[in-house]
Amino acid sequence: MTFRNYIHWLVFLIGVPTAQAQEEKYLDAQPQDVYNATTTLFTTQENIQYNQRGYKAIADDMSIRGMHRFTFVQQYGNKLQNLGNNGTATKPIFYVMPNNIGVTSGFHAYDIYFRSPHQFRYYDTKSPYSKMHVMLARFGSFYADVCHSRNVTPNWNIGANFRNMMTDKEWIPNGRGDRNVIAYGLDFFTHYKTDHDQYQLLAHGLIAKHRVRETGGILTDVYGTNLKNVTSTRRTTKKEIWGSRNMYNRLFTQDPKKNPESSDARKRFHLYHQLAVAEQLWAYHELGIQKNKHQFKADVLPERTKVFLGNESTDTQEAIDTTTTFWSAQNEWGIKGDWQDWFYCGYYRHKKIEFRPQQENDNQDLHEHYVGLHTRYELANNTDFLHLGGEYLFQGCYKARVAYEGAIFDLAGEYIRHKPSFLSQCYRGYHRKWDQQFTPPTATQISGGVRLEGSKVQLRPRVSFTKVNNHIYFEHKFKGPEYHKNWQRLTMIAEPKQTKNTRKLITTCSCWAKCETSSPLQ
């Protein structure tokens, strides 16, 4: 089904309830309640779990600010680096403090394209609510994010999100519809609460798959030194570029659908519920089950592809299909409450992990046990807060955080020691293998920001300083004189390394500004 048909069906499904409501409005002469953007509310699990502000009206979230940021890299403040096309693999430009102190799979290149549990919104809609975010680009590329939610009863809401992203190749496409990125995502969510909020339940399920047909990039000895030739040729016909003998694509095959392809498929079920056991005292339980399947395959391996993937032109392997599965199930039990100006939350978490790489001999099953504490003290009436918290993993890893959040400025300090990922420690593929034992990395970060507000101007400068020890990174294996001279022998082989010295970094230094004018567009 084409994208246009998707839009037609979505408009039809959304329009039918609206038409029925309009018909009832004019046929029924009785007074009716009026529902609008101020009566449609949403909240998040974080707000409920940490007794923060309650529901927020969608009217406060309907600003056009940031609407011009179309790609994911732009939406993340241009602090990510991708492979030149929306939806391709990404990594942070600056060091980012990890959220998880336990072991991870290590496959994080496509994380931003999947909705995480803390990003889910749970609604109180009063009347059916739909939201559609669609972006159309050249050569048939598009991105669509559709949400629909409605209340079954005044205390029970259900909804669903649908994501679809198609990105055509920007360079050397084989005609219209030659996709570089193909991604789908569907999730369902629900929120139930009793009268007076004595019991609340939040749950969602997610099924998504992100596919990237790898191109390997382009190397050229003519166009690479003449930007004018590159742009003029790009604007004429794709066929001219495709047929140019000066272009060299390392992963090109006659059938684009047989090019090497990376995919990340994820399934997740998440549940959070809490019960008031006494006045200002709640007990809660959180369940999270997730399965990630990472695959890299190539049905056809020309000689230049073998060289690029593994620097082995004599390899007899004609196809590649490498699959790694990461499954985890975690249960968290905790108590929380409010006492005067204090909020407190203590918990215990158990996490079971199953890691299934391509080689069965490397299978690993782990059990992780955590304890944690989070407190918040209200220094002033809903304006100034002091946060203290930490978490400990019974394998020598931990994190601690202290933060001040005020009306004028905020300041935070964080220290973390986390386990290395599975990918950085062990991998055995067709063209590369390693078996490493790394020391758990540590990092210390101090960050802060100031809020400056005038009559028509608002400024938000921020800065953060980070010190990293035992940092793990991937380094290109071959770096010699032939690296730049013999470009047709370039390979993508990289191996994990660990620094031995302390790295001091200024990770971010940014400023957000807003100017108000009499114009309706600000």
Q: What's the pLDDT tens digit per position in 469-520? A: 999 988 876 544 444 445 455 566 788 889 887 766 766 666 666 666 554 4
Distance (Å, rounded) from C-alpha 84 to C-alpha 485? 24
Cβ distance 418 to 399 under 8 Å?
A: yes
Domain residue extents for the chain: 33-216+251-515
Distance (Å, rounded) from C-alpha 505 to C-alpha 122? 38
Distance (Å, rounded) from C-alpha 388 to C-alpha 413? 10
Q: What is the pLDDT of residue 223?
A: 47
Distance (Å, rounded) from C-alpha 77 to C-alpha 500? 31
Lowest model confidence (mean pLDDT) among 167-181, 201-215, 223-237, 368-382: 223-237
Prediction pTM value? 0.84
pLDDT band of residue 282 (cuts 50, 70, 90) is very high
Q: What is the pLDDT of residue 349?
A: 98
Mean local confidence (pLDDT), 203-226? 75
- The number of angstroms, rounded, from the C-alpha of 370 to the middle of its chain's C-alpha atoms is 24
3-state secondary structure of 255: coil
Mean pLDDT of the chain: 81
Distance (Å, rounded) from C-alpha 430 to C-alpha 359? 11
Return the higher-pLDDT residue of 266 and 170: 266
Mean local confidence (pLDDT), 140-158? 94
Cβ distance 262 to 295 under 8 Å?
A: yes
Query: Cβ neighbours of residue 503 under 8 Å, at least 6 residues apart?
Result: 467, 468, 469, 471
Which residues of 56-178 form beta strands (DSSP E)? 56-57, 80-81, 91-92, 122-124, 129-136, 142-153, 156-168
Task: Please determine, looking at this structure, whether the domain spanning 33-216+251-515 carries the CATH number 2.60.40.
Answer: no
pLDDT band of residue 106 (cuts 50, 70, 90) is very high
70: nearest Cα among 141, 148, 8: 141
Distance (Å, rounded) from C-alpha 392 to C-alpha 74? 35
Lowest model confidence (mean pLDDT) among 18-22, 167-171, 276-280, 385-389: 18-22
Q: Is pLDDT above 70 for 411? A: yes
Q: Are strands 472-476 and 494-498 parallel, antiparallel or unpaired?
A: antiparallel
Q: Please give the helix or strand (H or E) that residue 201 lies within, else none.
A: strand 199-213
Q: What is the pLDDT of residue 105?
A: 93
